[in-house]
Structure 1
Amino acid sequence: IANGRHWPEQNQIFFNNGRGIFTVSVPLDVIRETSYATELADFDGDGDLDIAVGNDMAPNAIYLNAGDGTFSRSGTFGKPYAPTRNLTVADVDGDGDVDILITNRGSENEICLNDGFGHFSESLPFGEMDDSTIDVDVADLDGDDDMDLILANRDGQQNYIYLNDGQLRFRHIPFGTGNDETRAVAHADLNRDGIPDIITANIGEPNRIYFGDPELTFRLSITFDSGNDESYSVAVSDLDLDGDMDIIIANVGEPNTVFINKDNGQSWDKIILSEEKYNTYDILSADLNNDQRPDVIECNSQAVNVYYFNRERVKN
């Protein structure tokens, strides 16, 4: 868990006992850092999960796993002092290892290329120099078998798709209104037409779905949450186990919500996760207790972090 943000804290590792219980935790490092994001991936190709940490105005760091859940700081990646806000991991250059994308608010974003051993000495920029990029998602939007980028820009800036030509040269396409206050972005084929759709979490305006089309215009869109909540994170998962993807939204100052897909992305049933009004800055879904149901995890600022077990009946 990344704990710092603007106020340096120790990042923590919580170990799952296999049943969704986290009674054992250890600090990732003895130092306190202004960490905004952590990501897990096998960066050095040895079969275990390593950790990337993204820090605000401090070097971003890689921690390699010794294979037994102990981690050592092995190096840094990206600019040494940048306003990093998020990390995304994916094989962007198609060479079989995991690269890291860094979003830097008001500064140049970076793709840090992995040499296969967890070293990230080569990087290249993406987006505009002054973009206030807060999140990036990765998907093959145009069906050419390489990874394209979906950028969420805050501060009323235009959101963009960056199409990869396979050589890490990108052509950008705008989507959205041009002045959205987007805080997070995700993708899924919500209407099951074989084309990825884009979901945006916004503050002070409705959250939206932009449906993909063969021309990649993303002009057809709907709101799935008509409120004006401050939504800071979005995740997708098949929560009701019916074969289509549902949406999970993290809010600041309002209850977090689940939206169940009822009509191929055209209608949604809203469920309140809890009446608690946390300041939730990240939300994700994973099967924590090995019961074949995706659960929901909230990361809350200045409050306990919370996870919810899914009690949906498993469909055979």
Structure 2
Amino acid sequence: MAGAAGLSHKTIYGGEGKNTYLLETTGCGVAFFDYDNDGWLDLFVVNGSRLEGFPPGQEPINHLYKNNRDGTFTDVTVKAGLVHSGWGQGVSIGDYDNDGFEDLFITYWGKNVLYHNNGDGTFTNVSEKAGVAGSHTRWGTGCAFLDYDRDGHLDLFVANYIDFDLKTAPLPESGPCLFKGVQVACGPPGLPGAKNILYHNNGDGTFSDVSEKAGITRANGTYGLGVLTADFDNDGWPDIYVANDSQPSALYHNNHDGTFTDIGISAGCAYSQDGKPQAGMGVTAADYDCDGWLDIFKTNFSEDTSSLYHNTGQGVFDDVSFAAGLGLNTRYLGWGCGFIDLDNDGWPDIFAANGHIYPEIKRLTLDIRYAEPKIVYYNLGNGRFRDISKELGGAILDPVSSRGCAFGDFDNDGDVDIVVNPVNDYPQLLRCDSATGHHWLKVRTLGTKSNRSGIGARIKCVTGNHQQVDEVRSGGGYTSQSDLRVHFGLGQALKADRLEVRWPSGQVDVAENVAADRVVYVQEGKGIVKGP
């Protein structure tokens, strides 16, 4: 329904029939966020480029679509001051200066861009002034705002993929880079991995690169893609997970002193179930079994399964991909992903967007396709999932080469909708119209001592004997940003018996007997307050 909704611009990324370099394969992210604080989710769609370039004035640009509150959107990119072209990659949202308006960060192959939200419908590019543009060309991918030191100011983590230079990259069709016997773009193995960056927010509108000091820089770099921030050990401090391509993924544990330790291997969430590195793409988290600990879902390259890491609560994860019923789909190449409760029954389901990176395979008769369907796994509530993609049909099975996707209730009807950003195609807006009659609750956090966005706040929602936990999170999935409002399905319950918000500052706010089917605004230190 994207066309009818007004999402009228095609996402351009690399060649349509052939990709010369790996640069042309990774695609773009997308964001749901309420840039004007009117209570309705707007859309930001990242765009890319092509090697041959474009005539002046015809370059693809990112697009900001304002929600018209009637199921349609209006392109306000020019008015908002967001006209920018280049090889766009990832996007994340957060109010880095605590002025009450969500700011916008975009990664590029090139220099990254930070837009300050002016609060009047316009944005200002403050990248250089803030110190986050980078001093040279980098291949930024996943990104996320987080308050890693809990000082009330949002810091910024940026994953980087490859130290890529067109002048030194392997010449097209000059090497042994084959897929199913077809000559394809080389990499990432054989190309130099890039180093991730952690920026500390100085509280004055500027950031400092503290990557070395914080211990998140590997000597040889990594092929970082998806970024996820979450408190995995329930100690009140945000950790960082990075899905790496063709290398072990990383879990940076927060040491509470401004430093991190990569415990991915010892924690059991760096490799596949048989102990091999995977080509990780997107990553998301939720407490899918409602035991109080956040678990991890990661998408991977084709001819592999997606990974589901169950958090045991003992500092380790168990790879339960096969035991949970996720081991059957091996031909798809996964990208964007998310845990979402599609039917509001109180158990998070899984959505994954797929698409291959080699358009050359469109010319061949193979079991693997370039354009692929999405997958939806339904949570059975017993630790297992069931693939219901064919039952849903429609746009779920519509094959495109997807990359980023984001989740949010754009029509405020109580269920979670999905936007997908494909390669060389138009965005797909998938509206969820749940007919179960189940109830729901959304929580929007307003920090005071903590960061204004409430990013990192952990929310517990209790209905009867059923307890759900989730966090306010920036970034996640594959280079994308979902609604900052935390959504809970309540099933048949007409209220949440207890709603608890634990803020990054340590403040805990509790509300009881919270009526269902509405958005509640929770202000740090005051509890539920009136929204816009």
The aligned length equals 272
Q: Secondary structure at 2:218's aligned position in 1?
A: coil
Question: How far, CA to CA, are the matches of 1:65 and 1:92 in structure 2?
Answer: 23
Whether the aligned pair in 1 keeps the contact of 2:415 and 2:434 (CA below 8 Å) is: no
Give the helix-richer structure, 1 or 2: 2
Of the three residues 250, 257, 278, the one matched with 1:110 is 250
Partner of 2:481: 284
Larger radius of gyration: 2
Whether the aligned pair in 1 keeps the contact of 2:222 and 2:244 (CA below 8 Å) is: yes
Whether the aligned pair in 2 keeps the contact of 1:58 and 1:82 (CA below 8 Å) is: yes
Q: Secondary structure at 1:158's aligned position in 2?
A: coil
Shift, 1:137, TM fit: 0.6
Of the three residues 124, 127, 134, the one matched with 1:23 is 124
Whether the aligned pair in 1 keeps the contact of 2:372 and 2:399 (CA below 8 Å) is: yes
Partner of 1:151: 298
Question: How far, CA to CA, are the matches of 2:111 and 2:338 in structure 1?
Answer: 28
Amino acid at match of 2:481: L
Kindly report structure 1 stretches of 4+ aligned residues shifted beyond 6 Å.
none
Give the strand-richer structure, 1 or 2: 1
Partner of 2:386: 219
Question: 1 or 2 for the larger relative contact order (CA 8 Å, sep ≥6)?
Answer: 2
Whether the aligned pair in 2 keeps the contact of 1:136 and 1:150 (CA below 8 Å) is: yes
Partner of 1:92: 232
Residue correspondence of structure 1 range 257-272 to structure 2 within 5 A: 257-264=428-435
Partner of 1:230: 401
Shift, 1:82, TM fit: 1.2
Shift, 1:247, TM fit: 0.8
> Which deviations, in whole Å up to 9, do the C-alpha atoms of 1:229-287 show, x marking residues without a partner?
0110111101100111111111111100111111258xxxxxxxxxxxxxxx8443558
Whether the aligned pair in 1 keeps the contact of 2:284 and 2:298 (CA below 8 Å) is: yes
Question: How far, CA to CA, are the matches of 1:83 and 1:148 in structure 2?
Answer: 23
Of the three residues 162, 172, 183, the one matched with 2:319 is 172
Structure 2 residues without counterparts, runs of 5 or longer: 1-105, 162-192, 356-370, 437-477, 485-518, 520-530
Q: 1:177 to 1:130 in 2, by over 3 A?
A: same
Whether the aligned pair in 2 keeps the contact of 1:190 and 1:264 (CA below 8 Å) is: no
Amino acid at match of 2:151: D
Matched, 1:186 2:338: yes
TM-score, structure 1 length as denominator? 0.80
CA RMSD of aligned residues (A): 2.3
Matched, 1:42 2:143: no
Amino acid at match of 2:318: R
Q: Secondary structure at 1:284's aligned position in 2?
A: coil
Amino acid at match of 2:232: V
Shift, 1:160, TM fit: 2.0
Q: 1:217 to 1:121 in 2, by over 3 A?
A: closer
Whether the aligned pair in 1 keeps the contact of 2:142 and 2:479 (CA below 8 Å) is: no
Partner of 1:79: 218
Q: Report percent identity of matched pairs.
A: 28
Q: Secondary structure at 1:199's aligned position in 2?
A: strand
